[in-house]
Amino acid sequence: MSAGVLAIVVLVVIVAAAGIALLVRPALRSNKLKRRFGPEYDRVVTAAPDKRSGEHELLDRERKHADLELRPLEPARAAKYSERWNGVQEQFVDDPAGAVREADRLVTEVMAERGYPTGGYEEQAAHLSVRHTAVLEHYRKGHEIAGRDASTEDQRTAIVHFREIFRDLLDDGHYSTEDVNA
């Protein structure tokens, strides 16, 4: 085989490999984002004008999250928040709606102390989606119930949802939903 033919074959192989890499890269990125964000991936991509825009939003969330100066709670502060959570659950007996509002406020307060921005619900959910993906849907459901006139049973459900995100925030994102009954 002549040097010219060999050079052409090598060039074709390189171009083909580059083409395959360009085709595979978006699929790898999509799979990584699906694993990272779970159900939030589907929610964001479905709401976006197209898949690429949705994935760009998720990548932007990761970049913004990386700029945050998050910190774990000191054990004494975590214990105080746990005591306050117990008070919210006790309050539920006499004032379910008030307990739901307090649970929502308490989650926001813990977020702020951990270093999360608390400017608004959508911003909070976006930041939580990066590190607290496993319980984000609980936060969304609890917040949705808290924002409407709900039955006592729905309010109980909201408390359960807020408890999930509350525990996860106290535990720095390592909380397992299997520990709920513990």
pLDDT digits (tens, 9 = 90+) for 97-108: 999 999 999 999
Q: Are residues 114 and 63 in the same domain?
A: no
Q: Out of 24-28, 113-117, 134-138, 167-171, pick the least confident.
A: 24-28
Boundary of a domain, candidates 20, 41, 67: 67
pLDDT for position 25: 63
Return d(Cα 129, Cα 123) in angstroms, integer.
Answer: 10
Q: Are residues 80 and 59 in the same domain?
A: no
Q: Are residues 105 and 152 in the same domain?
A: yes
pLDDT reading at 109 higher than 80: yes
pTM: 0.76
Domain that holds residue 22: 3-67
**């911003």: which residue's tokens?**
123
- Work out whether the CA dihedral 14, 16, 22, 26 comes out positive or negative: negative
Q: Are residues 60 and 87 in the same domain?
A: no
pLDDT for position 182: 33
Residues ≥6 apart with Cβ < 8 Å to 36: 58, 62, 130, 133
Q: Are residues 63 and 81 in the same domain?
A: no
Boundary of a domain, candidates 48, 67, 86: 67
Q: Are residues 40 and 17 in the same domain?
A: yes
Return d(Cα 160, Cα 157) in angstroms, integer.
Answer: 5
**């849907």: which residue's tokens?**
137
Boundary of a domain, candidates 15, 49, 67: 67
Nearest to 158 by CA among 113, 112, 81, 98: 98
Q: Out of 12-21, 85-94, 134-143, pick the least confident.
A: 12-21
pLDDT for position 178: 38
Q: Are residues 163 and 118 in the same domain?
A: yes
Q: Are residues 108 and 141 in the same domain?
A: yes
Q: Are residues 86 and 135 in the same domain?
A: yes
- Burial of 109-148, coded b for 16+ CB within 10 Å and e otherwise, reads ebbebbebeeeebeebbbbbbbbbbbbbbbbbbbbebbee
Count the alpha carbons within 13 Å of 152 in the hemisphere toward its beta carbon: 6
Q: Are residues 57 and 112 in the same domain?
A: no
Return d(Cα 23, Cα 30) in angstroms, integer.
Answer: 12
- Report the domain count for the chain: 2
Q: Are residues 102 and 164 in the same domain?
A: yes
Q: Are residues 167 and 81 in the same domain?
A: yes
